[in-house]
């Protein structure tokens, strides 16, 4: 971060604005919205600033700025078109340890004015660190259109209940769970509909009926193949409300950036012959954490039900009476092939597609090779990089042509996305001679030829 985002209480605190033009007028109004006591030093003022002075809303001192004008203000804004004057104000403020903002000069600022979405007491600030203010305003416009004005009323309602909720629940996790249910349920909907009195009654009823240390819940969430933009809305919501995140090695760093900041993170990743936590241990850990009243997100790369052992995990949860939800994710076969310009099915080349694991539970690769080695079919091998020589030999031994096109998609959909193309016969040599990192998906079929025409994703190949 270039700047630490903070909110400053300037209610009835002295603030100085240097300059009296239209830009200064906008900054003054922003300070007034935060209930500051504003003084303005300027040789000439626009009509807006003059009117504020006539209404005794601000104090205007019509003169040239002097160093003695900087006294004990809590912050200073310089909004003139005189670069030398702005630099002088900046230096003086910094020497006095007073936060200073110089309009359109990030290098002279110790703080910057962000674009703001105001749903007081909810306030959202968006900043580009001064590099792209127009982009920040566009983001603000998107948020303005999606966040109802009634969020402010919802926050006010929550504030009036805060002491009661704190007294009811000793555990901070229980308090958080109560509020998240309230904010995502009927109470919020009634506030948004203008039925604030009904919402207050419903919130009181929910509080009266709530008990400490209720059973938690487990969310089995598909994190997709790596690109965080491929997450579903539901996945993101549950990731941000979970108390604990159990994640595996296939979850990208970019996706992990989106989990709740204060959630406990537990790594349970697996590599071939190297399991940080055995699967039985993961299953039991999910049960234990939920029975402690915690909300647990089991975050998996791809989709939980496609070679993700999600079925095994929810079997254990069901047997122990633990409530759970499953959120599908974009599986690696779909994400990696799409970002590589390889359609898994095509009327001219492939009328079916098979997803196959290259690493069975017993460590073998005992697959129905006769069913796989057929024309007009796409085969996608998961976790088969180390078994590539074996699958090449078996497919050819069961009748597949040696010149069948093959693609290896390395770290698909991420910034390190890389595609290697070859043929089935040459696959072992490619893997032996190139440095290819897991996770890598192997796609076998005529559709691989379409990559030359359909590759749209700008990535290293």
The separation between the first and the last C-alpha atoms of the chain, rounded to the nearest angstrom, is 32
Question: Using CA atoms, how far apart are residues 390 and 428, in angstroms rounded to an integer?
Answer: 9
Regarding beta strands 440-444 and 377-382, do their DSSP bridges make them parallel or antiparallel, or are they unpaired?
antiparallel
Catalytic annotation present for 197? no
Residues written for the chain: 461
Question: Using CA atoms, how far apart are residues 191 and 158, in angstroms rounded to an integer?
Answer: 11
DSSP structure string for 44-89: S--HHHHHHHHTTSSEEEES---GGG-SS-SEEEE--S-HHHHHHH
Backbone torsion region of residue 341, taken as left when φ is above 0, otherwise alpha when ψ lies between -120 and 50, otherwise beta: left
- Exactly one of 94, 168, 181, 270 is catalytic; which is it? 270
Q: How far is CA 258 from CA 33, 80, 168, 237, 436, in A?
A: 32, 40, 30, 10, 28
Kindly report the CA angle at 197 between 195 and 198, in degrees rounded to 5? 70
Question: Using CA atoms, how far apart are residues 341 and 345, in angstroms rounded to an integer?
Answer: 12
Catalytic annotation present for 411? no
Strand ranges for 248-316 from DSSP E: 264-267, 270-271, 274-275, 295-300
Instruction: Tell me the three state secondary structure of residue 277.
Output: coil
Find, among 328, 280, 324, the residue nearest to 300 by Cα.
328
Question: Using CA atoms, how far apart are residues 421 and 273, in angstroms rounded to an integer?
Answer: 28
Rounded to 10 degrees, the C-alpha dihedral 412/414/420/421 comes to 50
- Exactly one of 227, 243, 248, 303 is catalytic; which is it? 248
Positions marked catalytic: 248, 270
């Amino acid at each position: 971060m270039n700047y630490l985002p903070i909110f400053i209480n300037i209610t009835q605190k002295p603030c100085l604005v240097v300059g009296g033009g239209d830009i200064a007028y906008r900054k003054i109004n922003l300070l007034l919205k935060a209930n500051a006591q504003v003084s303005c030093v300027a040789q000439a003022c626009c009509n807006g600033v003059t009117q504020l002075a006539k209404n005794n809303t601000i104090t205007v001192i019509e003169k040239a700025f002097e160093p003695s004008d900087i006294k004990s203000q809590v912050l200073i804004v310089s909004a003139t078109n005189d670069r030398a004057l702005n630099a002088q104000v900046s230096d003086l403020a910094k020497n006095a340890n007073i936060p200073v903002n110089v309009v359109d000069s990030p290098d002279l600022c110790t703080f910057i004015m962000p674009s703001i979405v105001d749903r007081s007491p909810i306030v959202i600030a968006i900043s580009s660190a001064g590099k792209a203010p127009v982009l920040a305003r566009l983001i603000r416009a998107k948020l303005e259109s999606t966040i109802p004005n009634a969020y402010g009323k919802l926050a006010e309602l929550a504030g009036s209940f805060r002491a009661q909720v704190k007294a009811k629940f000793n555990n901070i996790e229980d308090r958080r769970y109560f509020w998240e249910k309230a904010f995502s349920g009927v109470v919020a909907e009634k506030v948004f509909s203008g039925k604030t009195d009904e919402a207050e009654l419903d919130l009181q009823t929910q509080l009266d009926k709530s008990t400490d240390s209720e059973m938690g819940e487990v969310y089995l969430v598909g994190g997709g193949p790596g690109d965080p933009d491929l997450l579903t809305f539901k996945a993101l919501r549950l990731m941000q409300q979970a108390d604990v995140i159990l994640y595996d090695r296939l979850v990208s760093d970019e996706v992990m950036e989106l989990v709740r900041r204060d959630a406990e993170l537990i790594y349970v990743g697996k590599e071939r012959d190297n399991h940080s936590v055995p699967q039985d241990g993961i299953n039991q850990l999910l049960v234990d954490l939920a029975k402690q009243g915690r909300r647990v997100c089991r975050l998996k790369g791809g989709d939980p039900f496609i070679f993700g052992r999600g079925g095994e995990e929810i079997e254990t949860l069901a047997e122990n009476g633990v409530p759970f939800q499953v959120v599908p994710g974009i599986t690696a076969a779909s994400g990696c092939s799409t970002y590589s310009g390889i359609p898994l099915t095509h009327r001219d080349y492939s009328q079916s597609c098979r997803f196959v694991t290259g690493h069975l539970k017993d460590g073998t690769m005992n697959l129905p090779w006769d069913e796989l080695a057929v024309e007009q079919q796409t085969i996608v091998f998961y976790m088969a990089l180390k078994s590539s020589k074996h699958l090449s030999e078996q497919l050819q031994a069961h009748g597949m042509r040696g010149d069948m096109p093959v693609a290896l998609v390395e770290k698909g959909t991420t910034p390190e996305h890389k595609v290697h193309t070859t043929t089935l016969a040459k696959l072992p040599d490619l893997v032996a001679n190139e440095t290819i990192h897991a996770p890598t998906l192997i796609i076998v079929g005529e559709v691989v030829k379409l990559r030359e025409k359909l590759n749209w994703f700008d990535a290293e190949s």
